[in-house]
């Protein structure tokens, strides 16, 4: 029987510095004792995107205080912790170095084991913390850095069914916003503008719709938006709203096709899943109501449960890193050596083919 476990998690792979303390009962029940996230949004917004050097420096400045705060809020000290879990990839190498080296230093000083966590595994296992989901299930990760459809078979057992061959979906939202002079981050701005727009005014491409392989492509969509904006410039507010609404419609149609095929494939492969089939969504784009609505409808039609963890745990955080560490520890995975190195590229499924571009902003992963 697995004993009660408590882990300190550290996340620094992109533009959020985060620390958390999470526990796992002997029966697998989780408790989030603390969850501290410091977003660097303001540092990067003037540049319209994440600047790796600024991100690394900001992580260095904030991490120690954040870890202290996470321990304090959890009302525990380092001696009460069973292990340290730190993100060691994929992501921006400067930030990964800061988080992993800090994790190693704490592990060395305290004599506690270290788990070097794949950030994508953190996203993949979050639904087991929030909804106690059993394996297998499908996970769609749609963030600024990733667009991946992953079959989650078990702890450490992942199959990548699809990924983007160029831009990540969040990146497409951000670039569209930039083209239209909307503020950064672009996703929420595009969604707001789309509310007053006509989704049928522009027929933007639905990339890869109909393809048997479950990959995604969003750079053509971005080019089509640029072309439309150039053709009708100068843009009125209504033009911007119409472009945003048409862009979101193209995104929804693409997701409907790609994910719809994914659900069919899952059903064919796993006709009798305990507790029913489920699709989990994670990543910042999961905040988008049209995207959510599309996925919910698809799931309803196909008899899938649609699981969207609270947004705070869908976007980057250290709770998911601590939880991935707990899952690894509870399933008997050995901790990592202290000479483990960060990896800017680290696919969850090492057998998946490498695709051009593959959608990791800054550090292609
Ligand atoms: O998971 P996330 O917070 O972190 C990173 O990828 O670093 O995702 C951020 C992405 C950004 O590209 C942002 O524009 C997008 O998620 N996003 C949205 C919305 N809110 C955030 N995209 C579409 N609609 C939204 N409401
Ligand atoms: Zn992430």
- Given a cut of 80, whether residue 66 has pLDDT beyond it is yes
The pTM is what? 0.93
pLDDT at residue 357 above 50?
A: no
Identify the band that residue 354 occupies on the pLDDT scale cut at 50, 70 and 90: low
Question: What are the φ and ψ backbone dihedral angles of 31, each rounded to 5 degrees?
Answer: -135, 125
Q: What is the DSSP letter of 216?
A: B
For 198-257, how does the pLDDT look when each residue is reduced to its tens digit (9 = 90+)? 999 999 998 888 888 999 999 999 999 999 999 999 999 999 999 999 999 999 999 999
Tell me what the mean pLDDT of segment 314-338 comes to: 97
pLDDT at 308 over 80: yes
Which residue(s) pair with 307 in the sheet? 280
Q: How confident is the model at residue 262 (pLDDT cuts 50, 70, 90)?
A: very high
Mean pLDDT of the chain: 93
Structural contact between residues 277 and 298, judged by C-beta atoms closer than 8 angstroms: no
Atom of ligand 1 nearest to the CA of 145: 6
Mean pLDDT of 143-149: 94
- Atom number of ligand 1 nearest to Cα 315: 1
Residues with CB under 6 A from ligand 1: 14-15, 143-145, 170-171, 173-174, 185-188, 191, 283-285, 287-288, 315-316
Could you give the percent of the chain with pLDDT greater than 70?
96
For residue 355, the model assigns a pLDDT of 62
Q: Is 360's pLDDT higher than 50?
A: no
Distance between Cα 120 and ligand 2 center (Å): 7
pLDDT computed for residue 50 by the predictor: 84
Q: Whose CA is nearest to atom 2 of ligand 1?
A: 284
Alpha-carbon separation of residue 36 from 121, 313, 332 (angstroms): 20, 11, 28
CA distance linking residue 101 with residue 349, whole number of Å: 25
Residue nearest atom 16 in ligand 1 by C-alpha distance: 284
Average pLDDT over residues 59-83: 95
What does the pLDDT read at residue 171? Answer: 94
Tokens 């525990």 -> residue: 76
- Residue 231 CA to ligand 2 centre (angstroms): 35
Tell me what pLDDT residue 45 has.
79
As a whole number of angstroms, the longest Cα–Cα distance in the chain is 67
Tell me which of 19-23, 33-37, 237-241, 271-275 is least confident.
Answer: 271-275
pLDDT in tens, 105-138: 999 999 999 999 999 999 999 999 999 999 999 9
Measured in Å, residue 251 CA sits from the centre of ligand 1 at: 14
Q: Which of 51-55, 149-153, 263-267 has the lowest mean pLDDT?
A: 51-55
Strands (E) located in 248-301: 278-282
What per-residue confidence (pLDDT) applies to 40? Answer: 81
Ligand 2 center–CA 201 separation, angstroms: 33
* 305 C-beta neighbours (distance < 10 Å), count: 16
Q: What is the pLDDT of residue 353?
A: 64
Q: State the Cα–Cα distance between residues 351 and 243, nearest whole angstrom.
A: 39
pLDDT above 90 (res 179): yes
CA distances in angstroms from 91 to 118, 306, 344, listed in the order given = 10, 28, 5
Task: Write the DSSP symbol of residue 284.
Answer: G
| pLDDT of 54 strictly over 90 | no
Give me the domains of the chain, ranges plus CATH numbers.
Answer: 5-128+312-330 (3.30.420.40), 135-311 (3.30.420.40)
CA 335 – CA 285 distance, rounded (Å):
33
Which residue out of 41, 179, 187 has the highest number of ligand 1 atoms within 8 Å of its CB and is therefore the one to mutate?
187
For residue 320, the ligand closest to its alpha carbon is 2
In this predicted structure, what is the pLDDT of residue 362? Answer: 39
Distance CA(359)–CA(242), nearest Å, equals: 26
Q: Are strands 30-39 and 16-24 parallel, antiparallel or unpaired?
A: antiparallel
Confidence of residue 44 (pLDDT cuts 50, 70, 90): confident
CA of 10 to the centre of ligand 2 (A): 13
Give the span between the Cα atoms of 160 and 151, in whole angstroms. Answer: 6
Model pLDDT, residue 365: 31
As a whole number, mean pLDDT of residues 90-102 equals 96
**Nearest ligand atom owner, CA of 172:** 1
The bound ligand whose nearest atom lies closest to the alpha carbon of 123 is 2
pLDDT at 114: 98
pLDDT at 167 over 90: yes
Q: Closest ligand to 187 CA?
A: 1
* 170 CA distance to ligand 2 middle (Å): 11
């Amino acid at each position: 029987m697995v004993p009660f476990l408590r882990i300190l998690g550290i996340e620094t792979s992109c533009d959020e510095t985060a620390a958390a303390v999470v526990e796992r009962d002997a029966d697998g029940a989780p408790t989030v004792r603390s969850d501290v996230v410091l977003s660097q949004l303001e540092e990067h917004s003037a540049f319209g995107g994440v600047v790796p050097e600024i991100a690394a420096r900001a992580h260095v400045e904030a991490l120690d205080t954040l870890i202290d705060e996470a321990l304090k809020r959890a009302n525990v000290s380092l001696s009460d912790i069973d292990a340290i879990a730190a993100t060691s990839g994929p992501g921006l190498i400067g930030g990964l170095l800061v988080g992993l080296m800090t994790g190693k230093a704490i592990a060395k000083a305290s004599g506690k084991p270290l788990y070097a966590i794949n950030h994508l595994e953190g996203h993949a296992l979050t639904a087991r913390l929030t909804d106690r989901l059993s394996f297998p299930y499908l996970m769609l990760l749609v963030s600024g850095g990733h667009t991946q459809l992953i079959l989650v078979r078990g702890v450490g057992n992942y199959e990548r069914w699809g990924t983007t061959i160029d831009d990540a979906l969040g990146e497409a939202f951000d670039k569209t916003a930039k083209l239209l002079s909307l503020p950064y981050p672009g996703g929420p701005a595009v969604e707001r503008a789309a509310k007053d727009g006509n989704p049928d005014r522009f027929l933007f491409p639905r990339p890869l719709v109909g393809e048997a392989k479950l990959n995604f492509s969003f750079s053509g969509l971005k080019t089509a938006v640029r072309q439309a904006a150039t053709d009708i410039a100068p843009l009125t507010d209504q033009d911007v709203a119409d472009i945003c609404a048409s862009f979101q419609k193209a995104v929804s149609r693409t997701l409907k096709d790609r994910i719809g095929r994914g659900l069919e494939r899952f059903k064919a492969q796993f006709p009798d899943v305990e507790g029913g089939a489920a699709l989990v969504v994670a990543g910042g784009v999961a905040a988008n109501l049209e995207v959510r609505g599309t996925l919910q409808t698809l799931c309803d039609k196909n008899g899938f449960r649609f699981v969207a963890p609270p947004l705070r745990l869908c976007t980057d955080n250290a709770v998911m890193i601590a939880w991935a560490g707990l899952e690894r520890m509870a399933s008997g995975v050995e901790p990592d050596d202290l000479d483990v190195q960060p990896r800017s590229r680290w696919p969850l499924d090492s057998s998946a083919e490498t695709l051009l571009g593959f959608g990791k902003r800054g550090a292609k992963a």
